[in-house]
């Protein structure tokens, strides 16, 4: 699965939608998605421009390992960690749950 060819087109389907965060307290509304990044309105009303860099890091870690803790993958980089987590968690082939009381994303596998 290729981030640019497969995932960005899926993210474009989010435009105009509010995505539920895993915590339920940090939902985001996707205003625009292009090859450079996202324009997002956060639940506090702040509008942010976010590149694909952090989301790509998390997604590639998820592909290679099948599971990812977003904070660990991003090495606690920057604020609004929930943005890449929420974007990826809302993909149709992603599940989420807790491991050692920490939120993780899982790549769905079929048996």
Domains recognised in the chain with CATH numbers: 3-107 (1.10.10)
Cut 0.85: pTM above it? yes
Q: Rounded distance, CA 76 to CA 62, Å? A: 16
Residue 46 has a pLDDT of 95
Phi, psi values for residue 12, rounded to 5°: -65, -25
On whether the CB atoms of residues 54 and 84 are closer than 8 A, the answer is yes
Residue 110 has a pLDDT of 57
Residue 2 has a pLDDT of 94
Q: Rounded distance, CA 13 to CA 11, Å? A: 5
Which stretches of the chain drop beneath a pLDDT of 70? 77-79, 110-111
Residue 106 has a pLDDT of 96
On whether the CB atoms of residues 101 and 33 are closer than 8 A, the answer is no
Q: Would you call 38 exposed, middle or buried from its count of C-beta atoms within 10 A (0-12, 13-18, 19+)?
A: buried
User: Which candidate, 92, 82, 5, 90, places its Cα nearest to that of 48?
Assistant: 82
């Amino acid at each position: 699965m290729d981030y640019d060819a497969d995932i960005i087109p899926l993210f474009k389907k989010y435009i105009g939608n509010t995505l539920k965060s895993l915590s339920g307290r940090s939902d985001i509304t996707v205003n625009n998605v292009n090859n450079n990044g996202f324009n997002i309105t956060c639940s506090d009303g702040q509008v942010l421009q976010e590149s694909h860099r952090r989301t790509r890091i998390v997604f590639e870690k998820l592909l290679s390992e099948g599971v990812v803790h977003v904070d660990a993958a991003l090495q606690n980089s920057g604020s609004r960690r929930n943005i890449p987590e929420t974007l990826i968690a809302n993909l149709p082939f992603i599940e989420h749950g807790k491991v050692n009381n920490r939120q993780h994303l899982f790549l769905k596998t079929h048996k």
